[in-house]
Structure 1
Amino acid sequence: MSNELTISENSGAARAGSATEGLTGGGEQAGFASLPANPTRKAEIERIMREDFDLYERSGLNREYLALLQAEQYQINPDSVNPTVPMQADQSRIALCSSEAGRKLVSDWDSMGGFKAHLANVQRDVAEIVRSMGGNRAQRVFMEHFDREVPVPARLAVYDEIAAGVSAYVPPASAGEVKHFTATPAGAALVAEWGTTASEKVAMLRTRAKRINDALSEDDAHEFWFWLDEQAPAAAAAIFRKMAG
């Protein structure tokens, strides 16, 4: 859902600072990638490809060439371009480090098994959530709203929680807690879908929601939960389903 996770073609230029960027549109992407169409640069890379293919691959020009081809395709038909192409780890690191919260996240991931591994897991899970929103246009709209409406610290807290994964065990939710969750259309649909495992799934969601909340200021938490409350039931259900494990 993020500018820090994916490659964004819609602006025609790489940006730093947001979250659906890669979850794209109005924020800074650090997970999914972006370049403007550039016929001159494309021709230069094609010359190197013909003359020294080893250099083309070794120097990373193959990735740049792919991004240029995607940018050209975006100009022709934006809806034909996959919005969740994962951003390269080095680009994502740079985008995330544009904020203090992002630098802390990068440092934490480096110290807990490696930034690249955590990033890949988050990009995979985020892409699965975004793809459930529908076609490329619907996915891009969802990502753009996420980047524009969710503050950077909240986006990064969500990424960090996704990277942490589900807990090995949490006490099942009470009947009252499950009933409270069913007060929304998304919650009601998921409880029906989960059946006898609903109490465990709801408990997992409550545990992860508390961790996100604890990581945020009151204002950032309010903006994030307001954004989530405003999502269509199908979108909210897709997010809850992935976070419940």
Structure 2
Amino acid sequence: MSNELTVTENPGAAGAGSATGEGVTGGATQGGFASLPANPTRKAEIEAIMRTDFAAYESSGLSREYLEILEAEQFEINPDSVNPTRPMQADQSRNSMCSSEAGRKLVSDWESMGGFRVHLANVQRDVSRIVQTFGGNREQRVFMEHFDREIPEPARFAIFAEIASGPDLYVTPAAPSEVKLFASTPAGGLLVAEWGSYAAEKVAMLRARAKRLTDNMSEEDAHEFRFWLDGLDAGQAAAIFRKMAG
């Protein structure tokens, strides 16, 4: 979660079917969190430089490339052993985002609001914290793969923008009827019980951010986003709502 935020260890395998049998693996990037494929030839080249000129190995970025190759090899042996939310480097994320008009706009917006790298790092951190509550590496990877596959790219960028913007400083507390309606859903019931006396403020914050989020999507993309959200289990939905409610 998602192709502009995290590193995948199996680029080029998109559509081949995941190790979990869920039907898809990440592409060349996996959510602002991507890596190189296993490459024995390149690995040998880097190891030769490591032995003969270790200073150059460290200063030229080869250490990062070498780590990516090792992780790609490990992914091929056991995909579930690799952290699915390892953040992608900022320059890789920027390049991935800039391949589309919507992505270029988000990059430009973040640059004008304190710097792309700062906002990217905050979003990567928040996404990682949410996803890491979904079980082990396999469950986390499957969640991210479904997010990338089922949510249109412009909608993903709208989600990243909303996460980066953070909660409002103040909202008018939700009416008791609104809290009751939210509590009637599986995820809402969990959260209203958890929030207690703060439920009215939390529900209002969540509603305000949901409206702002979908207002920044096309009607079709908003529909796809809601359809994806409705398909989550109660624990996953609650983790996302909890974060968005501040």
Q: Distance in 1 between matches of 2:72 and 2:48?
A: 19
CA drift at 1:11 = 3.6
| Partners of 2:31 and 2:144 within 8 A in 1 | no
CA drift at 1:49 = 1.6
Q: Which runs of 5+ in 2 are unaligned?
A: 15-23
Residue 114 (structure 1) aligns with: 115
TM-score (norm 1): 0.93
Residue 132 (structure 2) aligns with: 131
Q: Distance in 2 between matches of 1:44 and 1:228?
A: 45
Residue 82 (structure 2) aligns with: 81
Structure 2 letter corresponding to 1:229? D
CA drift at 1:40 = 1.1
CA drift at 1:30 = 4.6
CA drift at 1:53 = 2.0
Residue 188 (structure 2) aligns with: 187
Residue 2 (structure 1) aligns with: 2
Q: Give % identity.
A: 72
Residue 20 (structure 2) aligns with: none
| Partners of 2:13 and 2:25 within 8 A in 1 | no
Tell me the secondary structure at the aligned position of residue 216 of structure 1.
coil
Q: Distance in 2 between matches of 1:79 and 1:220?
A: 31
Structure 1 letter corresponding to 2:35? S
Equivalent pairs, count: 236
Structure 2 letter corresponding to 1:200? E
CA drift at 1:25 = 2.8
| Partners of 1:7 and 1:84 within 8 A in 2 | yes
Residue 244 (structure 1) aligns with: 245
Confirm whether residue 152 of structure 1 aligns to residue 184 of structure 2. no
Residue 40 (structure 2) aligns with: 39
CA drift at 1:6 = 0.2
User: Structure 1 runs of 4+ off > 6 angstroms?
Assistant: none
Structure 1 residues 21-32: aligned runs within 5 Å:
25-26=25-26, 29-32=30-33
Residue 17 (structure 1) aligns with: none
Residue 212 (structure 1) aligns with: 213
Residue 21 (structure 1) aligns with: none
Q: Distance in 2 between matches of 1:158 and 1:26?
A: 19
Q: Distance in 2 between matches of 1:214 and 1:141?
A: 28
TM-score (norm 2): 0.92
| Partners of 1:13 and 1:35 within 8 A in 2 | no
Structure 1 letter corresponding to 2:44? A
Q: Distance in 1 between matches of 2:50 and 2:12?
A: 24
Q: Distance in 2 between matches of 1:111 and 1:29?
A: 25
Tell me the secondary structure at the aligned position of residue 242 of structure 2.
helix
| Partners of 1:29 and 1:95 within 8 A in 2 | no
Q: Distance in 1 between matches of 2:243 and 2:173?
A: 18
Residue 234 (structure 1) aligns with: 235
